[in-house]
Amino acid sequence: MFARLIELMDRIGQPAYPLHIGDTCLDPPLACRLESLAQEPPPRPYAYSHPFGSPALREALAEKVRRDNGLHWADGDCVQITCGATHALSVTCQALLAPGDEVIIPAPHWPLIRGIVTAAGGTPVQAPFWPDLADDSAENCVELLRPFLTDRTVALYLNTPNNPTGRCLSRAALGRLADFAEAHDLWIISDEAYEHYAFGGVPHVSVASLSEATAARTVSCWTLSKAYALAGYRAGYLCAPPDLVARIRRLCNHSVYSVAGVVQEATLRALRHGDEWLVRAKAAY
């Protein structure tokens, strides 16, 4: 869909602004740009990298999610490096869904999640949600989703801060949704692509940070595409309990085998040198 839109825009022959896609007008942090990587390349840049992700990167990301996302239990065994959040969500759905299993998707939603669920054999159930959510997002969040629960529902997809509305669920709302998931034994698929860009006074909260019980049923997915303007590198990662990550790793091994070592090195440099860039980027957006 997005590729066809770009083709149509190119035919117009006039200046066009692609507001339909989550690219950015900003260049990424200097430390992870191509010119910096060329000056200081990682060891053996043309060789296969570790299928789970390099140990150094997984440990750095585990430290990040403990510090910034409140996942105090996470270590390197809880982290898998992926080809962007799209790949993270795809292998998550493959690991969790059997044919015919239903996933509740609050709508409007990021367009690709419906196809990701379908490709994994699941059935996406779109639930009108974000426009009807109360200003206090905890007030009616469960009531909006409850009518779409069936005996075939196995998972709830949460995308906060949300694409496309920009809204962010409060800690109280996430708590109610986590209770809803626990009461009905649902997995939570948490898409946190826009974690650094929560506007409007409601801070981003990772649902897996709420309790050990919620963490045990949640897969959290992130991307460097939005965080550090690195969409072209296709860098992402997920975090979940180690037994589930072990299942997901088998799927990664048989889909992409491993993420490019240069991309992993760029991700590591973004984590180490990107803090000031993030502050400037958020102000610019």
pLDDT confidence of residue 16: 79
Asked if residues 102 and 122 have their Cβ atoms less than 8 Å apart, the reply is yes
- Whether the per-residue pLDDT at 19 is higher than 90: the answer is no
Report whether 118 contacts 101 (CB < 8 A).
no
Other beta carbons within 10 angstroms of residue 184's beta carbon come to 14
Nearest to 157 by CA among 197, 212, 200, 120: 120
Q: What's the residue count for the chain? A: 285
Which pLDDT band holds residue 247 (cuts at 50, 70, 90)?
Answer: very high
% pLDDT > 90, the chain: 84
Task: Return the H-helix or E-strand segment holding 80.
Answer: strand 79-82
Per-residue pLDDT, averaged over 59-88, amounts to 97
What mean pLDDT value characterizes the chain? 94
| Euclidean distance between CA atoms 26 and 280, whole angstroms | 10
pTM of the model: 0.92
pLDDT at 268: 95
- Listed residue (117, 100, 93) closest to 251, CA to CA: 93
Average pLDDT in the 81-110 region?
97
Residue 120 has pLDDT above 80, yes or no: yes
Report CA-CA distances (Å) from 42 to 239, 257, 266: 25, 19, 9
Q: What is the pLDDT of residue 249?
A: 97
pLDDT for 23 beyond 90: no
pLDDT interval class at 10 (50, 70, 90): confident
- The structure tokens 């590198």 sit at 233
DSSP-derived 3-state class of residue 218: strand
Q: List the one residue out of 64, 119, 135, 101 whose CA is nearest residue 251.
A: 119
Provide CB contacts within 8 A for 201, sequence distance 6+: none
Bridge-based pairing of strands 153-159 and 102-107 is parallel
- pLDDT tens profile 148-178: 999 999 999 999 999 999 999 999 999 999 9
